[in-house]
Amino acid sequence: MDRAKELDLTAQIKDIVIGVLDLSIDRDQLDETVSLYSPVVGLDSLSLLHILVEVEKRFDIEIDDEDVMSAELRNVGSLVQMISGVIDAKGAEH
């Protein structure tokens, strides 16, 4: 994935995270290194599920449980990497 597409993907995923979790911060304030489980983000398993459902709808992809389990989701950047990999794999299928 080229850098421009990656930046756009990152922005869209940040928007989804902020929207689903109803965070009162701007996209620019959600750094890719911020822990998903920090007080800033406050992710739990149910909110992760909601985020993944929104990502699947927005990008017309299916994220397998195996993708999530093997991704070691620690921060926003790792979430973006996992989703990017799923999108790239879908593109390779077509």
pLDDT at 11 over 80: yes
Ranges of each domain in the chain: 3-93
pLDDT at res. 85: 93
Residue entry with tokens 């994935």: 1
Convert the pLDDT of each residue in 13-35 to its tens digit.
Answer: 999 999 999 999 999 999 999 99
Q: Helix crossing, 76-93 with 45-59: angle to 10°?
A: 40
**What is the 3-state secondary structure of 7-68?**
HHHHHHHHHHHHHHHCCCCCHHHCCCCCECCCCCCCCCHHHHHHHHHHHHHHHCCCCCHHHH
- Give SS3 for 73: coil
Domain 3-93 is in which class? mainly alpha
Residue entry with tokens 């449980």: 65
